[in-house]
Structures are given as C-alpha cells and as structure tokens.
Amino acid sequence: MSTIAEHTVGHVHRDDIGSRLGMWLFLFTELVLFGGMFLVYAVYRFTYQHEFHVAAKELNTSVGALNTIILLTSSLTIVLSIIAIRKNNKFLSVFFQISTMVLAFGFLVNKYFEWNIKIHHGIFPGSETLLGKGNGEIIFFGLYYVMTGLHALHVIIGVLLIEVMAGYTIKGRINSTNYVRLEAAGLYWHLVDIIWIFLFPLFYLIT
Amino acid sequence: MHNNGHAVSYLDYKGKHSGIFAWILSTDHKRIGLLYLMASLLFFAVGVTFGFLMRLELIAPGRTIMDAQTYNSLFTLHGIIMIFLFVIPGLPAVFGNFFLPILIGAKDVAFPRLNLLSWWLYILGALLAVISVFLPGGPADTGWTFYIPYSIRTTTNVMPALIAAFILGFSSILTGLNFIVTIHRMRAPGMSFFRMPLFVWSLYATAWVQILATPIIGITLLLVTIERLFGVGLFDPALGGDPVLYQHLFWIYSHPAVYIMILPAMGVISEIIPVFSHRTIFGYKFIAFSSLAIALFGSMVWAHHMFTVGMSETAQIIFSLLTFLVAIPSAIKVFNWVATLYKGSISTDAPLLYALGFIFLFSIGGFTGLIQGALSVNMHIHDTSFIVAHFHYVMFGGTGFGIFAAMHYWFPKMFGKMYNMKTAKVGFWVLFVGFNTLYFPMFVMGWLGMPRRYYDYLPEFHIYHLISTIGSWILITGLIIMFTNFIKALRSKTTYTAINPWGGETLEWTIPNKPPLENFEVIPTITAGPYEFKDNDEFLMKENN
C-alpha cells in the first residue's frame, strides 16, 4: 500500500488563456441572459410604439447621462488598475480598484434616488397611478424596473468581485506575474458597462 | 491491486479531507462524476415512482388511487425531476465528468473547483425542488412548462420550483463552460480535434447549447418569479403583456435542451458501436459535424411546440420546415451507426444491446417527431398522448437507454468490478419489452384523441391505458433486474482487472480500472484516430479484394 504522503501529491494547473476563455464564455451567457430581456423590450416597443414614446418622457435624461459618465469612467479605472499591476505598482492598482468601487457606489446612489423619485410619484409595478395608465406604459415601466434592477444587481456583484480582487492584490496573490483574476473581474465590469450603454438609449434617449 | 505506489485508485485516494467530505469536497472529476451519478439515480428512482403512481391511477377510468390535484402535482414533479435532475445531467455531468478528461488525455477538467461548484448548485436546486413539495400550498401543478397565465395565478409552490430550475440551469451552464475550455485547452499532445472520440465531440456540441440556450430559460423563469412577486405585467394580458411571448422564450431554451439531452447519448452510441463491431466507425467526420448541425438547427425550431397558439402561417411554415431539416443530421448518425455494424465482428454484449435498443427506439421517436412537425397533422395530435409517447421514445428510449448503455460500457472501468453479463442481457430484454408495452399504446390512443395530462378518460380508451399500465410494471421489473445486477457486482469481492474488456481503442482502456487520481502516469502522445481497428479492417479489405 502506498503511504498518505504519496496521496497528497497533486499538480498545480495554471492556464491563463484557458481562464480568459472561460470568462469570455461566461460573459456570453450573461449577454444572452440580457438578450432575452432586450428581446422582450423589442417586442413591446413594436407593439406599443406610441405609449413607449409617452412613457420614456417621464425619465430624467440628465440623471441617466450622469450615470453613463460614471460607469464609463469606472471602466477606465479598472483598466488602469490592470495596467498598474502589470507594471508591478501594487499601490496604484489598489487605488484604481477602490476608485472603481467608489464610482460604482455613486452609480447605485444615483439609481436609488432615481427609483425613489419614481416611487414617490406613484410609478411602480402594481401602483394605482401606474395601473391607471395605458397598457404600454405599464409594460414600459415594468421593463424599466426589471432591466435596470437586474443591471443594478450586476453592479453590486461586480463591486463585490472587485472588493475580493483588491483583497487579493493587497495580499499579493494578484501580482505582476499572475493577474488573470483581476483581468476576469475587469472583463465582468466591462460587461456591466456595455449593458448599461444599451439600456441608456433604449430607456432614456429614444422618446 | 494498486501497490505500484503512485497509481492508487481514485476511490482509495486519501486527500485533505476524510469521510464523506473526501467526496463532497473533492475536486477530482471522477469523484464528482460519481456524486452526480448517485444523486441523479436517486432522483431517477423518485421520478420512476411518480410515473408508476400516475400509470396506476390511469389503470381504470375515474378516480383510482389519488385525486386530480395530486395527479397534477405528480406529472409536474415527474417532469421537473426527470428533465432537470436526471436526463440533463445524466450523461454530460456523470459520464462527461468522469470520462471527458480521460478521453482527451488530461488530468482533470480545466476548472476543477468550478466543477465542484456545479455539483453543489445541482444539489441546492434539487433540495429546493424537494422542499417545494412539502411547503404549505402543495407542490407545483403547472406542468414542467410553467405556462403563463396559470403559473402566475395558482397558489401552489411554483416559486421554489422556478428558482430550483433557475439554479439547476446555472449548474448546467457552468458544466458546459468547463467542458468547452477543457476541450480547447487540455487535449493531450497529438490529440487534434479530428482525433477526438465522438463522445467528446457530442459533449462539445452539447456544451455550446448549454451555455447559449440556458441563460434564456434563466431570465424567463426569473421574469415569472418577478411576475408572481410584483405583478409587473410583462406576460399578463390584463396589463398588456403577452403570454405567447412567454411560450416563445420558454421554448427557445427548452427545445435546444432536448438536444442537450440527446446529443451526449448519441455520442455514447458512437463509442459503443465501433468497439462492439470491431470496426472503424463509418463517416467519423459526418458524425462529428452532425452533432454541431443538430446543435445549430435544433436552436431554430422551438415554435413547433406552439403550432396551435396562433402564430402567423408564414412563421408556422418556416418552423415546420426547419423541424424537418433537423431530422437530417440525426438520420446521418443512424445511417453511419448501421453502416459501421455492417460486416463487423459483432459481439452482442449488454452495452451493444442497449446501443441497438437506442437506435430502434430513437428511430421510432424521431419519425413520430416528424409526424408532429407536419403542420396539418400537428393540429390533430397536439397535446395528446401521442406527444407523450413521442418524447418518451426520444428521451427515455433514446437518452435513457444511452445512459444505461454508458453504465454497462464503462462500469468495469469506473469500479473495477464486472456485472453478470447474462443477467444484464435479461434485464435489457425485460426493459425493452416493458418500454414498448408502456409507451406504444400512447401513440394509438393519442391518435384516437386521448389528451395528455388528463386525470380521467372515456371508457373507449380503457384497453390502451390498461396495457400501458401493465407495461410500466414490466419496465420497472427490468430496471430492478438491471440495478440489482449492478449492486451485486459492486458488493462482490472479486476485483476485475482486465483493463480493456471490450477491446476499445480509446484512452480510457489504456489506464487501470478505477483510474488513479491524475488518470495517466505519463500524459500520452496521440498518433492515430480513436477507432482504428486495423486488424479487422485489413481483414475486410482482403476479403473484398
């Protein structure tokens, strides 16, 4: 019989290209997930053209634009954090990761107030005000809450992910020779960004 | 038998954890495969029991052993359990996990910890499904399709069932993702794509369907959950939503899911046929590409489930045409399997019997699928037990028999034991006869107008229901014979040491039974295709000349 010591022999498998491939595949699934929502949006936009037009006027374009700027900037900061760690500048990398989280937090606060105002005006699923409006407007705001809500959920997951990465970076598990995890988190963050880039015109700009 | 030091078997390997934790925290793809096997067989037993009870209820018109509400819950649970907990993970998660790395000459999958996470998600989803049965309100009664508006009106526990299906979908996505990366990145030197065993090809096609189609069901089930919680109105006609849109979204996933279920089974058959006829497989590339073609066409036929809901005629004609097209790659496979058998030196062991059973039953299932794909006929048999018979022929006669074939084929490799071949053959024939007795009458009564999912029926259908119920008893007897045979073999003390009992040419037959933790002592270098039975081919060539 072999000894226990022999049993614990294991191999360390590291394949950065494979990890990146895996992350991209995961991002595809996320895109398809939101794709289902965009499909629903397209169908109802086609069915209720006029009512979507009326409903979209209720959304505040400048709040949406501000959030777009915030998210785009946060995408920049996460890229900068990856460049920093590649150049072996741990401090700067952590700084940019924290900046990304702060910006994401700003986005969520902004979103919170935006939703809050809507709810104060009585526009939320099942409310009397909303049920008093036409079917198309009910669907528009339904989609608005579901899609931006699902997106906000992804923002929160992204923040948690980056927080873990910042911890890894501080501990040195993410360093200038092994930063594929940070790259993966960065890719995820860009996904969150790009979905917002589509949500913004669909809800705020097209009226 | 493993005292050569470093080649201790995966079953005896002692890692960081001990006891049950050595299993449920193991990242070894073989142990995870067995974990899936045990869990999915457990749920299979539950699903079979529900099916048995439903058949018993239908043995005579009127109430026999349960009330209508119980019956509704039973067919819902039977569907959810069989589809999400047995058939979908049955081949990819069990045998894919166990054999994919071995077949391509790798030590493990690309992301072993993610693999373990998939299993945990599977268990979490399964537990939720089980919990939904016992919560106040009673188990879901919507059918596994969760059609709106009923699924947002019923007071039964639809929510836990929906969330369970969502989590199970996530588990399936992660398995698919893992397999794609494994196949792309971890093949042994010399293992080009066209030297991969066909089971690997089928897993590859399956994995793409898993990751591209499953998110759609994820978002759809999530939307139904939101609908129940907040009444957003996206699918509620009272608020301007469209329930037919729900059906589209549901089938955009759930039809490709049918191919998630059948493709790996076709892969298993493509492994077994050449080995047991001792011939190079006929049309390797056609079989490989037909898997991809099935995955592609199969993603574009979903609306043939909805011919009676009121679509435009143009849409119906296009979906009907595409449905006919998807039969072509499946037919290519069947043709190639049969051509491989031709002039082979066939040994009719249990794995081959199950593979032949697959071809026979799958062909019946496939052809009746075409009957339903024709628009005019579909109107006649829509939502009748004809459909029930069709998909049981494909899903049970096809995938189910594929799973049993795989179990008989790889059993000695996985456990280092051998089952009794005679009993296995008897088991097959009882199962095969029981299967046809159970499901064939459903074609007939469906054609005569017996609706599916009905608790009661007119007296003129009695004889068919009676035969069908008797068939269910024969089928269960067959299952009992098969599993008793396996359990006896597992408990026997004699170790089976022949590493290549069937004369296979793929890599798993080059390593010891109960493979060691890292599968290969030295990663092999591949110099030839997977099915080169040169001796027999040369013999045939001489004979032909």
Domain boundaries along the sequence of chain B: 21-544
pLDDT tops 80 at residue A207: no
Mean confidence (pLDDT) of chain B: 93
Range of A102's domain? 16-205
pLDDT in tens, A4-22: 434 444 556 789 999 999 9
Q: CB A191: neighbour CB atoms within 10 A?
A: 19
- Provide, rounded to the nearest whole percent, the portion of chain A with pLDDT above 70: 94
pLDDT tops 50 at residue B3: no
In a domain, A8, yes or no: no
Q: CB A26 to CB B177 under 8 A?
A: yes
In a domain, A10, yes or no: no
Closest Cα partner for B156 from B173, B133, B190? B133
3-state secondary structure of B11: coil
CB B322 within 8 Å of CB B300? yes
Q: What's the rounded Cα separation, in Å, for the pair B277 and B43?
A: 34
Q: What's the rounded Cα separation, in Å, for the pair B361 and B394?
A: 7
Q: CB A10 to CB B230 under 8 A?
A: no
CATH of residue A95: 1.20.120.80
- Which token pair is B294? 């099935």
CB B320 within 8 Å of CB B373? yes
Tell me how many domains chain A contains. Answer: 1
pLDDT in tens, B185-198: 999 999 999 999 99
Torsion (CA) A106, A107, A109, A113 in degrees, nearest 10? 140
Q: What's the rounded Cα separation, in Å, for the pair B387 and B306?
A: 13
Q: CB B130: neighbour CB atoms within 10 A?
A: 17
CB B270 within 8 Å of CB B338? no
pLDDT tops 80 at residue A3: no
Q: CB A35 to CB B215 under 8 A?
A: yes
In a domain, A11, yes or no: no
Q: Tell me whether B117 touches chain A (CB under 8 Å).
A: no
Which of A32, A45, A140, A154 should we substitute to test contact with B (largest number of B Cβ atoms within 10 Å)? A32
CATH fold of B21-544 reads Cytochrome C Oxidase; Chain A (1.20.210)
pLDDT of amino acid B4: 45
In a domain, A20, yes or no: yes
In a domain, A136, yes or no: yes
Q: What's the rounded Cα separation, in Å, for the pair B99 and B508?
A: 7
pLDDT in tens, B347-399: 999 999 999 999 999 999 999 999 999 999 999 999 999 999 999 999 999 99
Q: What's the rounded Cα separation, in Å, for the pair B269 and B182?
A: 22
Q: Tell me whether B523 touches chain A (CB under 8 Å).
A: no
Name the minimum distance, in Å, from the CA of B110 to any CA of chain A.
7
Q: What's the rounded Cα separation, in Å, for the pair B116 and B472?
A: 36
Q: What's the rounded Cα separation, in Å, for the pair B191 and B90?
A: 26
pLDDT in tens, B433-492: 999 999 999 999 999 999 999 999 999 999 999 999 999 999 999 999 999 999 999 999
Checking B303-306 for CB contacts under 8 A at 24+ apart, the result is: B303/B248, B303/B251, B304/B255, B304/B372, B304/B373, B304/B378, B305/B247, B305/B251, B305/B254, B305/B255, B306/B244, B306/B247, B306/B248, B306/B251
pLDDT of amino acid A2: 37
**Which residue in B15, B173, B184 is closest to A29 by CB distance?**
B173
Cβ–Cβ pairs < 8 A, chains A and B: 124
**ipTM for this prediction:** 0.90
Q: CB B220 to CB A134 under 8 A?
A: no
Name the minimum distance, in Å, from the CA of B230 to any CA of chain A.
6
Q: Tell me whether B226 touches chain A (CB under 8 Å).
A: yes
pLDDT of amino acid A4: 40
CB B438 within 8 Å of CB B475? yes
* Average pLDDT, integer, range A97-125: 95
In chain B, residues with a C-beta closer than 8 Å to the C-beta of A150 are 222
- What's the whole-model pTM score? 0.93
Q: CB A11 to CB B518 under 8 A?
A: yes
pLDDT in tens, B524-540: 999 888 888 766 666 66
Q: CB A34 to CB B219 under 8 A?
A: yes
Q: CB A139 to CB B240 under 8 A?
A: yes
- Taking CA atoms, B372 is separated from B251, B309, B347, B452, in Å, by 16, 15, 36, 15
In a domain, A1, yes or no: no
In a domain, A3, yes or no: no
Closest Cα partner for B74 from B129, B135, B141? B141
pLDDT of amino acid B540: 62
pLDDT of amino acid A9: 46
pLDDT of amino acid B19: 84
Q: What sign has the CA pseudo-torsion A139, A142, A144, A146?
A: negative
Q: CB A37 to CB B219 under 8 A?
A: yes
CB B266 within 8 Å of CB B315? no
DSSP assigned state of B305: G
